[in-house]
């Protein structure tokens, strides 16, 4: 799945990636059964995630780790499914070894520092799986589209982000950066769902409509971030996210493959 969903090298064109696509799903599964199949698969992969996370945590607590941890970075347009992904994928793991950090508008204290200050504070400790709900990329997305800082400022941030992620990788952080790719029509439906469903109405924010009016500008900003900040040590993955069942299945596989690649082992007793 890492190979299938990796952002293409060079310039990224989101219009060329189908938000309703299902790369990697076996073609022989009947359409009327695919949702049930995916739920069972996410449960099965979730058991692997729990085991691998425990191994990562145990190695560090047992003093035989090497500072390793995993950081899942989730970015999306409004209603893109970040919360749902965290619930279904990270929810399979033990909270003891999990840290979820959500980044909203910076506080007064955070604005007194450079844009990476609050991000550094959220990086997981060794042995922990961390999840960022939004991230440092907001500072080349909303900051760019809404002109919160002058162009020379956000332009310089791409190189700063790449240097920061190189630093993380060198310090034992396995980065999994995921852009949940939804369509304009799907976002419209999800915004309506938030208004129609009393249990989701609290999520509705009128500012989402303003951001929706600048859909093209945000896509252009995302394409720049994906193209300029996808590296060998910190690649971007584009997950078609119109189908929630596929989104959960794909992200679960991306995290499992990354943990598998870390070749984790329980510590030997002294």
Rounded CA gap, 201 and 49, in Å?
32
| Integer CA distances (angstroms), 166 to 125, 159, 178, in order | 17, 11, 17
Backbone angles phi, psi at 58, to 5 degrees: -65, -40
Note the Cα 180 to chain centre separation in Å. 7
For position 66, what pLDDT does the model report?
Answer: 82
Q: How many Cα neighbours within 13 Å face the side chain of 212?
A: 20
Token digits for 152? 């020379």
Rounded CA gap, 240 and 20, in Å?
6
CB contact burial 172-181 (16+ within 10 A = b; e otherwise): bbbbbbbbbb
Instruction: Specify the pairing of strand 236-240 against strand 173-181.
Output: parallel
For position 233, what pLDDT does the model report?
Answer: 95
What pTM was estimated for this model as a whole?
0.95
Rounded CA gap, 180 and 86, in Å?
12
For position 25, what pLDDT does the model report?
Answer: 96
pLDDT along the chain (270 residues), means of 10: 92 95 95 94 96 94 85 97 96 94 95 97 97 98 96 97 98 97 96 88 84 94 97 97 98 98 89
For position 206, what pLDDT does the model report?
Answer: 84
């Amino acid at each position: 799945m890492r190979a299938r969903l990796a952002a293409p090298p060079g310039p990224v064109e989101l219009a060329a990636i189908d938000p309703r696509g299902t790369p990697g799903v076996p073609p022989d599964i009947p359409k009327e059964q695919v949702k049930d199949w995916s739920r069972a698969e996410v449960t099965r992969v979730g058991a692997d995630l729990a085991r691998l996370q425990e191994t990562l945590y145990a190695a560090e607590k047992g003093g035989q780790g090497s500072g390793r941890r995993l950081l899942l970075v989730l970015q999306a347009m409004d209603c893109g499914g970040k919360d749902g992904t965290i619930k279904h994928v990270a929810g399979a793991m033990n909270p003891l070894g999990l840290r979820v950090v959500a980044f909203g508008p910076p506080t007064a204290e955070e604005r007194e520092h450079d844009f990476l200050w609050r991000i550094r504070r959220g990086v997981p400790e060794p042995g922990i799986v961390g999840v960022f709900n939004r991230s440092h990329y907001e500072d080349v997305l909303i900051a760019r589209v809404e002109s919160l800082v002058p162009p020379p400022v956000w332009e310089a941030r791409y190189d700063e982000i790449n240097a920061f992620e190189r630093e993380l990788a060198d310090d034992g952080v396995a980065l999994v950066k995921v852009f949940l790719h939804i369509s304009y029509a799907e976002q419209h439906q999800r915004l309506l769902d938030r208004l129609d469903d009393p249990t989701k109405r609290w999520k509705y924010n009128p500012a989402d409509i303003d951001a929706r009016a600048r859909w093209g500008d945000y896509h252009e900003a995302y394409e720049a971030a994906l193209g300029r900040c996808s590296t060998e040590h910190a690649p971007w993955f584009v997950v078609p996210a119109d189908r929630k069942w596929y989104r959960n299945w794909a992200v679960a596989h991306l995290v499992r493959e990354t943990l598998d690649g870390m070749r984790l082992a329980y510590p030997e007793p002294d």
